Amino acid sequence: MRTIDWVDDAIVIIDQTALPAEERLLRLTTVEELIAAVRSLAVRGAPALGVAGALGVALAVRIGSDLEEQVRAIETARPTAVNLARGARRAASRIPDGPEAVLEEALAIRDEEIAASAAMATRGADLITELCGPRPRMLTHCNTGALAAVTVGTALGVVLELHRRGALGDVIASETRPLLQGARLTAWELSRAGVDFRVAVDGAGPFLMARGEVDAVVVGADRICANGDTVNKIGTYAHALGAHRAGIPFLVVAPESTIDADTPDGAAVPIEDRTQDEVNGSFPAANPAFDVTPHDLITAIVTDRRVIRPAEKW
Ligand code: MRU
């Protein structure tokens, strides 16, 4: 399964707003359609957004007008995951070489993310086994599987690799209010892979850890700052605090493309605030889509190239 790809001169994505009720593909042929898909979370997750940004620029150069403005609109469609702007800029750097060069760069980003997912799954599964022993009971937040990347994924890729090895205990997917990436998307991916799992409300995570029902927490990232602070889906910070208090490992799994050495720390990251009606149609609501987990709460960051121990390094 490829969550996002280039097929017959168009971007084709799995429409994540429809899952799990309906499995449907969307064919995006204009920059406006791509931006709408990014904003509605039809395509989402940091690595997939990097590919979407790059392929969006490939579309823009084919259409040809107001190129600078179009690239800027793609880069800023969502502010938090560094991959989106980075993917768009990298593809745009090839504009002087013509449309085919831009597409070639975008497809290279797609292929790099596929390779990165495979490398993280292996390295992350090895590390979990080293830290937790056989058949760990895992808690994961949001959706970090193939749907969030192109194939395989980041944190969920590690969970699925442990399952493939017959080395996985329990899995708890926290539901991820308000858009339910855990309850809808992670649950869908785990079901398809034949993994037994339970969905828990977000607030249950720290208590399940305190009650001794979780051996490790594994999450993805939208941006990892120069000091190791990690920005990820709202609710991640509470799980990190819970893991710290329970004395269990808290692991971030993300490709190198999510590390932003130009952003010093979590306070410098633009956090997307989404509309109130996603939370509650009747009353005023606060709806930050992401939070910051300080680096000292992170046991390890597993990338496609290395394991970083932020609490030791910084
Ligand atoms: O708002 P979303 O669904 O795009 O948020 C996604 C996340 O926060 C993921 O955890 C993150 O992008 C890592 S995906 C491998």
Q: What is the CATH number of the domain that holds 93?
A: 1.20.120.420
Give pLDDT, residue 139.
Answer: 98
Q: Say if ligand 1 is within 6 A of residue 50 CB.
A: no
294/204 same-domain check? yes
Domain that holds residue 234: 122-308
- Tens digit of pLDDT for each residue in 117-129? 999 999 999 999 9
232 C-alpha to center of ligand 1: Å?
Answer: 6
Least reliable range by pLDDT among 174-188, 238-252, 298-312? 298-312
Give pLDDT, residue 43.
Answer: 98
Give pLDDT, residue 195.
Answer: 98
Computed over every residue of the chain, the mean pLDDT equals 97
CATH code at 194?
Answer: 3.40.50.10470
Give pLDDT, residue 288.
Answer: 98
46 C-alpha to center of ligand 1: Å?
Answer: 6
Question: What percent of the chain is modeled with pLDDT above 70?
Answer: 99
pLDDT higher than threshold 60 for residue 314? no
113 close to 257: Cβ distance less than 8 angstroms: yes
Counting from 1 in the atom list of ligand 1, the atom nearest the Cα of 289 is: 1
pLDDT higher than threshold 90 for residue 313? no
pLDDT higher than threshold 70 for residue 270? yes
Q: Say if ligand 1 is within 6 A of residue 232 CB.
A: yes
Residue 313 lies in a domain: no
Q: With cut-offs at 50, 70 and 90, classify the pLDDT of residue 297.
A: very high
pLDDT higher than threshold 60 for residue 33? yes
Give pLDDT, residue 63.
Answer: 85
Residue 314 lies in a domain: no
Q: Which of 151, 159, 176, 232 to mutate to test the pocket of ligand 1 (most atoms within 8 A of CB)?
A: 232
- Tens digit of pLDDT for each residue in 34-85? 999 999 999 999 999 999 999 999 999 998 789 999 999 999 999 999 999 9
Counting from 1 in the atom list of ligand 1, the atom nearest the Cα of 181 is: 3
Give pLDDT, residue 130.
Answer: 97
23/150 same-domain check? no
Q: Say if ligand 1 is within 6 A of residue 116 CB.
A: no
Give pLDDT, residue 239.
Answer: 98
Domain-ending residue, one of 79, 112, 145: 112
80 C-alpha to center of ligand 1: Å?
Answer: 10
* DSSP assigned state of 182: I
Nearest in space to 296 (alpha carbons), one of 246, 242, 227, 233: 227
Give pLDDT, residue 312.
Answer: 72
Domain-ending residue, one of 112, 135, 159: 112
Q: Say if ligand 1 is within 6 A of residue 252 CB.
A: no
131/71 same-domain check? no
299/199 same-domain check? yes
69/136 same-domain check? no
232/300 same-domain check? yes
Secondary structure, 3-state, 13-62: EECCCCCCCCCCEEEECCHHHHHHHHHCCCCCCHHHHHHHHHHHHHHHHH
Residue 94: C-alpha distances to residues 9, 88, 131, 205, 213 (Å): 18, 10, 43, 45, 50
145/241 same-domain check? yes
Residue 166 lies in a domain: yes
288 C-alpha to center of ligand 1: Å?
Answer: 13
Counting from 1 in the atom list of ligand 1, the atom nearest the Cα of 47 is: 15
Give pLDDT, residue 310.
Answer: 87
241/180 same-domain check? yes
How many domains, the chain?
Answer: 2
Q: How many CA atoms lie within 13 A of 229 on its CB side?
A: 16
Whether cis (ω within 30° of 0) applies to the bond prior to 136 is no
175/303 same-domain check? yes
Residue 117 lies in a domain: no
